[in-house]
């Protein structure tokens, strides 16, 4: 097993990040260490990440070291300083004091972020997490006790009834199969502008602005997205300002966070969890 120690420029609240990632019912954690499924061109591998100090992390795993480290660094945002520094003089100043050393961790792949967002549409968080777990356990793959989410190839040939038996609505089944069968090259979009990715995704049945924003944030790590219609965001603004804004008002409130609105959204979510 290879190991690599990273010394970061900023304090990195790995404990806080672990706490939020527990919302993913498939996340495996042991003795403060996260076991991270990595889907690479070379195959499926499991990386490990743990904190050894407030600014130091230990990455490890078995498999091709360089691409695994690169993937872990990208998903856990280890190559950039915390964007909280840019928000410490905004209305989020108190939230930054509590959660500012955390980072917005990316999903396993952009396609995973897309199907997760589709499943989460307009249902409560806990049931959405149950449904996502069912889809991944049923149609994903398992390696050494770690579940890898299904790829588009694994979903595209399914019959609708195979998904409906998991208690997914007929409408969401249509959306998931449509996304899987669209033949989108999600990796090729990595270097595309936000607008080009949005145009590709919005053409899918059942994918609206909220879903696009979540995929851009959690699938591609884009820094200036803000899902203003998200109920959690609106609740966080209500706690912050004393009254719940409309979606239009939330868009205006978020302007002070530009061009770091994705991180601001993360902090707002954390403030009510």
CB 90 within 8 A of CB 268: no
Dmax (CA) for the chain in angstroms is 52
Active-site residue (options: 13, 31, 157, 230)? 230
* C-beta separation of 179 from 114 below 8 A: yes
CB of 216 closer than 8 Å to CB of 224: no
Tokens of 129: 């997490």
Q: Are 104 and 266 spatial neighbours (Cβ–Cβ below 8 Å)?
A: yes
- Based on the residue annotation, tell me whether 230 is a catalytic residue of this protein: yes
Strand ranges inside the chain, DSSP E = 2-7, 28-30, 33-40, 43-53, 56-61, 141-143, 146-148
Just list the catalytic residues. 230
């Amino acid at each position: 097993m290879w190991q690599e120690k990273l010394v970061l420029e900023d304090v990195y609240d790995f404990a806080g990040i672990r706490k939020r990632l527990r919302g993913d019912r498939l996340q495996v954690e042991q003795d403060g260490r996260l076991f991270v499924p990595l889907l690479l061109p070379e195959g499926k591998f499991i990386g490990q990440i743990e904190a050894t100090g407030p600014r130091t992390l230990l990455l490890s795993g078995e498999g091709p070291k360089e691409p695994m480290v690169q993937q872990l660094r990208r998903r856990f945002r280890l190559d950039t300083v915390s964007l909280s520094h840019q928000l410490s003089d905004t209305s989020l100043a108190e939230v930054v004091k509590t959660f500012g050393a955390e980072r917005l961790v990316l999903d396993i792949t952009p396609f995973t972020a897309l199907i997760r967002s589709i499943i989460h549409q307009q249902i409560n968080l806990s049931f959405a997490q149950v449904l996502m777990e069912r889809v991944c356990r049923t149609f994903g793959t398992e390696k050494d006790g770690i579940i890898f989410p299904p790829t588009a190839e694994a979903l595209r040939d399914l019959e609708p009834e195979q998904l409906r038996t998991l208690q997914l609505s007929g409408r969401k089944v249509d959306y998931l199969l449509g996304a899987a069968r669209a033949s989108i090259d999600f990796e090729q979009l990595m270097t595309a502008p936000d607008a080009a990715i949005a145009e590709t995704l919005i053409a899918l049945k059942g994918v609206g602005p909220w879903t696009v924003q979540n995929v851009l944030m959690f699938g591609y790590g884009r820094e200036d997205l803000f899902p203003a219609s998200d109920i959690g965001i609106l609740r966080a603004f209500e706690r912050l300002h004393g009254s719940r804004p409309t979606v239009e008002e939330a868009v205006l409130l978020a302007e002070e966070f530009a061009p770091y609105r994705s991180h601001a959204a993360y902090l707002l979510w954390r403030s009510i969890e």
